[in-house]
Amino acid sequence: MYTGLNEIEETLEELLHTNTPIARYLRWSAQYLADQGLEAKLEIAQGVDSDEIMREALQGGYDLLVIGASAARGIFGRIFTEQVTPHVVERSPCSVLVVR
């Protein structure tokens, strides 16, 4: 973790009971998947994005990871944001489907 950053103390349940944009998006996403007959499992993880995705992939024993293409745009976006998708594709223990 980065020095000087506090850990998030909010639980998933507390987050989902807020009216923040991320909470609304998570609730909508879970409901959309449920409406399609798919089970969704929401979790909060702290750490480097690609490391946390890899940890879950290894522990979960998944056959396929579905991940969005990196959203970093422009030179500053590419310099200052971690490129999660390439890290996941290179290190994944299973197949990865990258969607745009």
Quick one: which of 8, 82, 88 has its CA closest to 44? 8
Residue 51 and residue 30 in one domain? no
Quick check: 72 and 34 in contact, CB under 8 A?
no
Radius of gyration of the chain from its Cα atoms, rounded to whole angstroms? 15
Residue 11 and residue 55 in one domain? no
Average pLDDT for residues 28-46, to the nearest whole number?
A: 91
Residue 39 and residue 58 in one domain? no
Provide the domain count of the chain.
2
Running DSSP on this structure, what letter comes out for residue 43?
-
Specify the pLDDT at position 9: 76
Residue 40 and residue 73 in one domain? no
Quick check: 47 and 53 in contact, CB under 8 A?
no
Give residue 73's domain range. Answer: 47-100
Residue 7 and residue 52 in one domain? no
pLDDT digits (tens, 9 = 90+) for 57-98: 999 999 999 998 876 666 666 655 568 888 899 999 999 999
Average pLDDT for residues 50-56, to the nearest whole number?
A: 92
- Tell me the pLDDT band of 55, cut-offs 50, 70 and 90: very high
